[in-house]
Structure 1
Amino acid sequence: METIKANSAFLCNYEVMQILQQLKDNTQKKHKREGSLATVTYETVHYLQNSDSRNETPQAIEKFLEALKPFKLTKTEKLMMVNTPPRTELEIQLIVQESEERLSEEEVRKIVTIANECLPPPDET
């Protein structure tokens, strides 16, 4: 098998969780699939349901990405921010390559504020 277009599409954790939940639901209706696939699906869904993705919605993700447009971030940087919303300025530095040159301190604070408004952290329960 050959990869024709590497990275032609990116999926955020929320989208992966939705696809796997549908796969899991369809699998339960049909005959049981191979044990390893069912285990991987179950473990991945379980992990994603306990991550920040749990409280995300397509509308919130769209609003977040729209708000990030002025910052000229790469697709992968935006994807990382959707998957793990930055809650501190340090997290921005870890996600954005050469952030000190590309973003001002005010822009970094603005991104953190946008993340907290659009993608609220999961409940601490």
Structure 2
Amino acid sequence: MIRLVFESSDPGYAITLGPAPLFRVGGNFIRQGPEKAVVARYRNHFWEVQERHFTRYDCLDSASIHFEDIAGDPSESFGPFVRFWVADGALYAERNLFAKFVEESQLWHCYPTDTYWPIMVITQADRAD
């Protein structure tokens, strides 16, 4: 299971979403799976969660990322990443710029493959047994 942690500039104030098996980030919404309930909305450069506003969220659990097109067909899977965060539409994985949400097109630009996708999916990393 994974959790997304939203931290405020207000010291010590944070909201954690999850644990959940996945989160889908598309357009101005984050949906928590598998039931796909909207748990965060992006407005005016802020994520709104439980009536609070945040500029950044972190995933502190080991997670993988893939993208999906409008038909739901997935890209290759990336990761697992020990840690990643999203700030101002830019996703940094292991301290490297990995993807950027382009507001004008409502698409994620995946830098490793130089491709564009409407949906980013964050899932629990597969564990090697």
Q: Please give the TM-score of this superposition, normalised by the length of structure 2.
A: 0.28
Higher helix share: 1
Q: Which has the higher strand share?
A: 2
Bigger Cα Rg = 1
Higher relative contact order (CA 8 A, sep 6+): 1
- TM-score, L = length of structure 1: 0.28
